[in-house]
Amino acid sequence: MIRDLLIIAALVVALRAPFLTQPIQGDDIYYLAGAQYAQTNPWHPHQASYLFQGRMVSMSGHPHPPLNTWVLAGLIAVVGDVREAPFHAAYALFSLVAALSMYALARRFVARPLLATLLFCAAPAFVVNGNSLESDLPLLAMWMAGMAVFVEALERGSGLWLAGSLLPLGAAGLAAYQSVVAIPILWLLTARKRPAWWLAYGVALAPAVALVIYQVAEASGGKAPPLAVTAGYFQEYGLQQLGPKLRNAKALVGHLGWIVFPLLPVIGFRTRWMLVALAWALIDWNPLYVIGVAGGIGLLMQDGRRFGWWPQIFFAAALVLFFAGSARYLLPMAAPVALLVADRFADRPRWLAAGMAAQVALGLALAWANYEHWAGYREFVAAHRGELAQAKVWVNGEFARFYAEEIGALPLARGQAIRPGEIVLTSELGFPFAVTAGGGQMVEVARHEIVPRLPLRLIGLGSRSGYSDASAGVRPFDLDWGPVDRLRLERVIERKPTLSYVPMGAPEAEAHLLSGAYQLEDGKSRWMGQQARLMVQPRAESGKASATVYVPAAAKARRIWIEWNGVKVAERSIEREGLYTVVAEGINTGWEAGVLTVACDATFVAPGDTRELGVVLIEAGLK
């Protein structure tokens, strides 16, 4: 047993040591925002707010409770700042807890517990996502520890061991909402082993109890319960609509087969049901996807009674709860999948060893490609540090934010104007949005393509990988030599207005828009927020100010008005959907360029759209 534990610990160290300097990536920045806020409000870190895709949001609506944020807050308090190596070294402990818990479970279920544990550690999501600062590994560690101690309690009939499972199961509840899926699994395990042990059924509720306490504690100050805020964001962003749910299901079936090397379940669980995978080739013909679907079908067809139907219950819950189809969602399934495969190949240990070795090699290769992707942002900012330090810098795109913000850059808000002399750093992959040049002109000063040396892609421009998000494709990963992202630095230079009246489809319109108007649509109009501001050049000392807007049925605005240099000059009520023009006669404008503002009294957010929308602006200016 000691030998086995040393081998497991050595593998975990081997998987984590090369990536101690892993750059800050993905959702790390949001957890770190909460952790920084926790330095002043440690009991309520998710009352933090931050810009997400250009819109201010509350972290109370984050789809994960605050355990991970607390861990990061503690590390910041100890280390003093965000530093990659000590943070990743600390998070490696979660990997070790998960692996050792897996070994404890495997000793109860299979003849070759060491090989089962090594298979578990070889899961690509364990290898790759274990190098992030997101909540996946804390959740997995607490989930696995709770499961292992609970199963040991059932085997021994020990109330002491049962009490020992309360802490990790409760902590799992504070790591992720999906932790409640453990409850029916633990109930079924109890019903199979000790059906009359009612205390065990109660202890299994620990994740739900922890979540209820969290909701009550957060709502006690008069704020909305976090789940209510989360549900509101899900509705606003359209995350629970049918399209995302179907993509989620398609991707997760493929990911399931790649938890272990897919040839193992395909060979070990041969069934005619795997022919269904050929039909899934209509979704994506790529063999990486089809073989993953076949392996996933084989796994789901297995008898899971010994494991409390753990694989089937968690996978069904994943189809219902999730929306992005990410491989990391299935990490709590890695244990029963590894146990099923290890049990089937118990008499063929070389097959297990070969499958584990192949999967470790794949996982490390994916992790290295992922490392080089995120290192590209760090290196680009470092290379242009001098330029960025000499001007006000805005970041347009989620993926380039952390290292730029470290040296003083700020995230860009939707509809915000950029002033002459300021710089915009844009990531094409990181959900950028149209930028208003504030009456100036955007001039590119630097450009860089991030191209990892290995052609493996977890996410990227042109990639059809669904590893992180199924919106671009459903493959477990993709093969591509192209760039994963393109970065560009643009400086705004001053440009004098030339038009007095600005149709939104005019080629010169961009140079006249200061703020509040979004990108051109159908060649002639732009959605605006609560107000849109334009710089215009009068043609006479006095004239007529005018704005024409279209009010869709979904708009909430009931009044629209125009201002000249901050003074309201005309207003009109809105009665129903339609085209409206607001006109102010005899405005004393003078000959100097000035600011015309078009404003409305209310905005709304359309499902699946993060913009605050007022009305549709067609043209505005002086006549």
Q: Which contiguous run of DSSP H or E holds residue 132?
A: none
SS3 414: coil
**Which band of pLDDT confidence, cut at 50, 70 and 90, is reported for residue 583?**
very high
Could you tell me if 261 and 337 are in contact, meaning their C-beta atoms sit under 8 angstroms apart? no
Nearest residue to 477 via CA among 364, 568, 589: 364
pLDDT digits (tens, 9 = 90+) for 258-272: 999 999 999 999 887
Average pLDDT score over residue span 589-601: 89
Rounded (5°) CA angle 445-451-456: 155
**Which band of pLDDT confidence, cut at 50, 70 and 90, is reported for residue 438?**
low
pLDDT digits (tens, 9 = 90+) for 62-108: 889 999 999 999 999 999 999 999 999 999 999 999 999 999 999 99
DSSP β-bridge partners for residue 272: none
pLDDT digits (tens, 9 = 90+) for 310-346: 999 999 999 999 988 899 999 999 999 999 999 999 9
Average pLDDT score over residue span 399-419: 89
Strands (E), 461-593: 478-479, 485-494, 501-503, 513-521, 525-536, 542-551, 559-564, 567-573, 578-588
Q: Which two tokens stand for residue 149?
A: 């101690």
Q: Which contiguous run of DSSP H or E holds residue 134?
A: none
Could you tell me if 138 and 149 are in contact, meaning their C-beta atoms sit under 8 angstroms apart? no
> Strands 440-450, 501-503: parallel, antiparallel or unpaired by DSSP?
unpaired
What pLDDT, on the 0 to 100 scale, is given for residue 497? 85
SS3 193: helix
Which of the given ranges, 166-180, 246-260, 290-304, has the highest pLDDT on average? 166-180
SS3 227: helix
**Which band of pLDDT confidence, cut at 50, 70 and 90, is reported for residue 572?**
very high
| Residues in Cβ contact with 556 at an 8 Å cutoff, skipping those fewer than 6 apart | 602, 603, 604
Please say if the pLDDT value at position 234 is more than 90.
no
How far apart, in Å, do the first and last CA atoms of the chain sit?
86
Amino acid identity at 250: K
Task: Measure the CA–CA gap between 604 and 598, rounded to whole angstroms.
Answer: 17
What pLDDT, on the 0 to 100 scale, is given for residue 548? 94
Which of the given ranges, 23-37, 429-443, 560-574, has the highest pLDDT on average? 23-37
> Strands 410-411, 393-396: parallel, antiparallel or unpaired by DSSP?
parallel
Tell me the average pLDDT of the chain: 91
Task: Measure the CA–CA gap between 175 and 177, rounded to whole angstroms.
Answer: 7
Average pLDDT score over residue span 381-400: 89
Please say if the pLDDT value at position 242 is more than 80.
no
Please say if the pLDDT value at position 231 is more than 80.
no
pLDDT digits (tens, 9 = 90+) for 502-524: 999 998 888 888 878 888 888 89
Q: Which two tokens stand for residue 386?
A: 């001098």
DSSP 55-105: EEEEGGGSSS-THHHHHHHHHHHHHSS--HHHHHHHHHHHHHHHHHHHHHH
The proportion of the chain whose per-residue pLDDT surpasses 70, expressed as a percent, equals: 98
Length of the chain: 623
Task: Measure the CA–CA gap between 240 and 325, rounded to whole angstroms.
Answer: 12
Please say if the pLDDT value at position 239 is more than 90.
no
Q: pLDDT: is 223 or 10 the higher one?
A: 10
| Residues in Cβ contact with 84 at an 8 Å cutoff, skipping those fewer than 6 apart | 20, 21, 22, 23, 24
Task: Measure the CA–CA gap between 301 and 252, rounded to whole angstroms.
Answer: 16
Task: Measure the CA–CA gap between 353 and 20, rounded to whole angstroms.
Answer: 27
Domains identified in the chain and CATH numbers: 238-347 (no CATH), 374-494 (no CATH), 501-622 (2.60.120.260)
Sign of CA dihedral 127, 130, 136, 139: positive
Could you tell me if 610 and 564 are in contact, meaning their C-beta atoms sit under 8 angstroms apart? no
